[in-house]
Amino acid sequence: MQLTLEFGGGLELLCDSKKIHDVNIEQHNGEDKLIMKDLLSWVRNNLIKERPEMFMKGDTVRPGVLVLVNDCDWELSGQLNTSLEEKDVVVFISTLHGG
Amino acid sequence: MSASELLRELDSLKDAKTQIEHKISLLEAQLREINLRNDAAPPNGSSSLSYPTNGLTQDMIHRYSRHLMLPSFGVQGQANLLKSSILVVGAGGLGAPALLYLAASGVGRLGVIDHDVVELNNMHRQVIHTEAYVGKPKVKSAAAACHSINSTIQVVEHEEALQTSNALEILSKYDIIVDATDNAPTRYLISDCCVVLGKPLVSGAALGLEGQLTVYNYHGGPCYRCLFPTPPPRTACQSCAEGGVLGVVPGIIGCLQALEAIKVAASVGEPLSGRMLLLDALSGRIRIVKIRGRSMQCEVCGENATFTQQQFLEFDYEKFTQTPLRVPPLKLNLLPSESRISSKEYSEIILKKETHVLVDVRPAHHFKIVSLPKSLNIPLSTLEARLPEVSSALKKEEEDSGVASGSSAQLYVVCRRGNDSQRAVQYLHKMGFASAKDIVGGLESWAHNVDPNFPTY
Ligand SMILES: [Zn+2]
């Protein structure tokens, strides 16, 4: 499945300072659908190069990270259970506090 | 006269100059108003007709004419704005442009709260302040600037830090709150206080080359805690002083905050509630995303929430976010004193030409700004992989200076403020570099205690 993943608000520093990643994810164990829970563990294993605790806590993202699926808060689409489709854009963005 | 006497004299003269300039601008504004009124006075004997103007005075119609001509803003929008009161929390990078535009646009009563003083190394983004105000309270400087743009509005100065003890009283005096602060605990504090008082909150943030903007607690929309019920770990909250920020980025977000506050105050358009604007300045992208609505489970604004003024007063925001409200620079103390030297001691080591290697563990882009002579840059994050470079530098130093066998070159470590250098020395000790020492207080201490001409940043 082709997806575009974007990291912002400093999270890009955890994956070689690259903000946009066009990825192709192969589904395993015969499942034909991919949900956010699967994507998170894929990202953690394949893209996060350092300090994984700055990206995840338990099986979800750490506090202070907004997840957007096609420009929409994943809270509105079922969070970890959000189903992903071909060409979806998933954004992970850390909230900023500076000014 | 000594240098310090001269400096004091200069300071007091600059003070007097600022006050006089402030007075001059006030008097000039008064004079302009009197002249305008006289110009407008009907010639002797002519009848004094009254004209229906929807409550705007002649001066207001003149000053805000370009607003009044906008069909979607017009007289009603301006009249609403003139009746409104807005508090801007923070007169920094976000607050600076927000305050300038809010003052110019004719917000009836404009409050500003900040406890800090104007600093030269913030002026690249805090464009409301001028050099004459360096060292003076930001609130005074910001209020003077607002007043010189628009002497017809009321500008209220709150020269203090926002805390639970004063927040209810201060925020309750305003219709709309603008969060232009720079740290996590204050952001939770302001949002909770806005929920308790039922005030809309225009929230902006910026860091590096990115910015974020949304309106909280507006017409049943979410609050800050609906989005972020659990505070992020402290290490995830960089400040502009730590991470850097391109000045114009908070400038853009601050202008957008003024825009949203004006829309809410004037009751025009669709405020950015339930949506968030994300600015990526480097790639030139702005995206507006849909965020969740009010959370039924929110501990502050949710269905069964019972967050009262009393609970707000007793809430410990520093403990909640594990971050102090006023951010003092982090000062670690990881090493025994025999593994540390002062910057003065290091300057003597240079003078005596003692055989040594100085490793600077700051990031490479910091090292480029300025560094001590003959220092070797190995950023902390790469130290593990580059240990052989440390060994070979020590060996080369020993060979070059022909140190008698048995004695060896010393290893010193420096960074910006003396925290990372301790982490590095701790690691070096573990890896067998038993004699490694760090320079207490880093380059800031060098500038402070050894060479005042050393540039700090
Ligand atoms: Zn809430």
Check whether B378 has a pLDDT greater than 70: yes
The CA radius of gyration of chain A, in Å to the nearest whole number, is 13
Question: Which chain B residue's Cα is nearest to A62?
Answer: B232
Contact B437, B358 (CB under 8 A): no
> Residues of B forming the annotated binding site for ATP?
93, 114, 121-125, 138, 182-183
| pLDDT tens by residue, A39-72 | 999 999 999 998 899 999 999 999 999 999 999 9
Q: Which of A9, A72, A97 sits opposite B187 (nearest CB)?
A: A97
Contact B206 A71 (CB under 8 A): no
Check whether B52 has a pLDDT greater than 90: no
Cβ within 8 Å of residue A92, ≥6 positions away: A5, A6, A7, A8, A11, A43, A55, A61, A65, A66, A67
> Residues of B forming the annotated binding site for Zn(2+)?
223, 226, 298, 301
Question: Which chain B residue's Cα is nearest to A79?
Answer: B292
- The number of C-beta contacts closer than 8 angstroms across A and B is 104
Confidence of residue B37 (pLDDT cuts 50, 70, 90): low
Confidence of residue B191 (pLDDT cuts 50, 70, 90): very high
Measuring CA to CA, which residue among B292, B427, B230, B260 is closest to residue A73?
Answer: B292
Cβ under 8 Å to A: B residues 69-108: 90, 92-95
Check whether B7 has a pLDDT greater than 90: no
Contact B102, B261 (CB under 8 A): yes
Q: How high does pLDDT run on average in chain B?
A: 92
Q: What superfamily would CATH give domain A2-94? A: Beta-grasp domain (3.10.20.30)
Cβ within 8 Å of residue B170, ≥6 positions away: B87, B111, B113, B158, B162
- Check residue B344 and give its pLDDT: 95
Confidence of residue B403 (pLDDT cuts 50, 70, 90): low
> How large a percentage of chain A has pLDDT more than 90?
85
Report residue B57 as tokens. 């005075």
- Check residue B440 and give its pLDDT: 95
> Which residues of chain A does B243 touch, with a Cβ-Cβ cutoff of 8 Å?
10, 98
Measuring CA to CA, which residue among B324, B238, B214 is closest to residue A9?
Answer: B238
Check whether B5 has a pLDDT greater than 90: no
Check whether A28 has a pLDDT greater than 70: no
Domain boundaries, chain A: 2-94
Distance (Å, rounded) from C-alpha B225 to C-alpha B244? 27
Q: Poorest-confidence range of A28-37, B206-215, B387-396?
A: A28-37
> Which residues of chain A does B204 touch, with a Cβ-Cβ cutoff of 8 Å?
99
Contact B239 A72 (CB under 8 A): no
> Which residues of chain A does B231 touch, with a Cβ-Cβ cutoff of 8 Å?
63-64
The Å distance, Cα A43 to ligand 1 centre, comes to 30
- Check residue B283 and give its pLDDT: 93
Cβ under 8 Å to A: B residues 233-262: 233, 235-240, 243, 245, 250, 253
- Check residue B53 and give its pLDDT: 78
Check whether B207 has a pLDDT greater than 80: yes
- Check residue B48 and give its pLDDT: 72
Q: Is B194 a catalytic residue?
A: no
Q: Which of B182, B228, B229 sits opposite A99 (nearest CB)?
A: B182
Options B193, B194, B240, B255, the catalytic residue: B240
The Å distance, Cα B231 to ligand 1 centre, comes to 13
Check whether B439 has a pLDDT greater than 80: yes
Check whether B182 has a pLDDT greater than 60: yes
Check whether B171 has a pLDDT greater than 60: yes
Q: Poorest-confidence range of B19-33, B313-327, B346-360?
A: B19-33
Question: Which chain B residue's Cα is nearest to A70?
Answer: B289
> How large a percentage of chain B has pLDDT more than 70?
95
Measuring CA to CA, which residue among B58, B118, B62, B55 is closest to residue B83?
Answer: B55
- Check residue B19 and give its pLDDT: 85
- Check residue B444 and give its pLDDT: 94
How many distinct helices (H) and strands (E) make up chain B?
A: 18, 13
Q: Is the pTM above the cut of 0.95?
A: no
Q: Poorest-confidence range of A29-43, B187-201, B267-281?
A: A29-43
* Positive or negative: CA dihedral B53, B59, B62, B64: negative
B144-170 burial: b if 16+ Cβ within 10 Å, else e: bbbbbbbbebebbbbeeebebeebeeb
Confidence of residue A77 (pLDDT cuts 50, 70, 90): very high
Contact B211 A54 (CB under 8 A): no
The Å distance, Cα B92 to ligand 1 centre, comes to 26
| pLDDT tens by residue, B268-316 | 999 999 999 999 999 999 999 999 999 999 999 998 898 999 999 999 9
Give mean pLDDT, residues B373-400. 93
For β-strands B356-360 and B375-377, DSSP reports them as: parallel
Check whether A38 has a pLDDT greater than 60: yes
Give mean pLDDT, residues B44-55. 71
Contact A94 B184 (CB under 8 A): no
Best residue of B182, B289, B317 to probe chain A, by most A CBs closer than 10 Å: B289
> Which residues of chain A does B233 touch, with a Cβ-Cβ cutoff of 8 Å?
53-54, 62-64
Give mean pLDDT, residues B45-59. 78
